[in-house]
Amino acid sequence: MRILRAADREASPWKNGGGVTREVAAWPPGAGLDDFEWRLSLADIAADGPFSYFPGVDRVLTLIAGEGLVLDVAGETKTLDAASPPLAFPGDAKASARLAAGPVRDFNLMVRRDLWRAEVYRLGARPTPVEGLAFVLLLEPVSMARIQLEALDILRFEADEAMTLDFPITTRALIAELRTSSAQFG
């Protein structure tokens, strides 16, 4: 297990000025927006606007803070809040967002659909033993094995590593699971 500390992430402003993104992890290491296989990030959305177009990419977006986001994907409208389930959608679909009542923060997972499959769910929504690469995003501070973890810290578990979480199942957290495209979710 590796701890990816929230305090170590740098914000990158969007070209359109509508927010900032903090990259959590990407594969391969050092990959940019045009050549990643998978990418996890946190974004602060401060203004209405279109989403970036990513051909051949599947996205999973989970709102984690703020009053709400109205997302239009390929003409279908979805309203998300911090209690909504993660929303999966194609990155090559026309998508735009409107803030319901002020800025929001989201957790964003993107994968090249010909190489990877991704799933995001809330801790406790499924059994936690996973078979793929897993990231646990903490939405509140918690102690684990005498280590203090802060909100937005992330635990990374490799595919061959047992995912052991030594904190209550009621902890507010998200699990992002990635598998190669040939693997299926259980």
Q: Are residues 99 and 132 in the same domain?
A: no
108 shares its domain with 129: no
Classify residue 185: in a domain, yes or no. no
Domain extent, residue 47, equals 9-112
* pTM over the 0.85 mark: yes
Q: State the Cα–Cα distance between residues 42 and 9, nearest whole angstrom.
A: 10
- List the CATH number of the domain containing 61: 2.60.120.10
**45-70 pLDDT tens trace:** 999 999 999 999 999 999 999 999 99
Confidence category of residue 7, pLDDT binned at 50, 70, 90: very high
Say if residue 85 is in the same domain as residue 18. yes
pLDDT tens track for 70-120? 999 999 999 999 999 999 999 999 999 999 999 999 999 999 999 999 999
The answer to whether residues 120 and 107 belong to one domain is no
Pair 177, 118: CB distance under 8 Å:
yes
Give which of 125, 119, 140, 117 is closest to 62, Cα–Cα.
119
| Other residues' Cβ atoms within 10 Å of the Cβ of residue 77 | 9
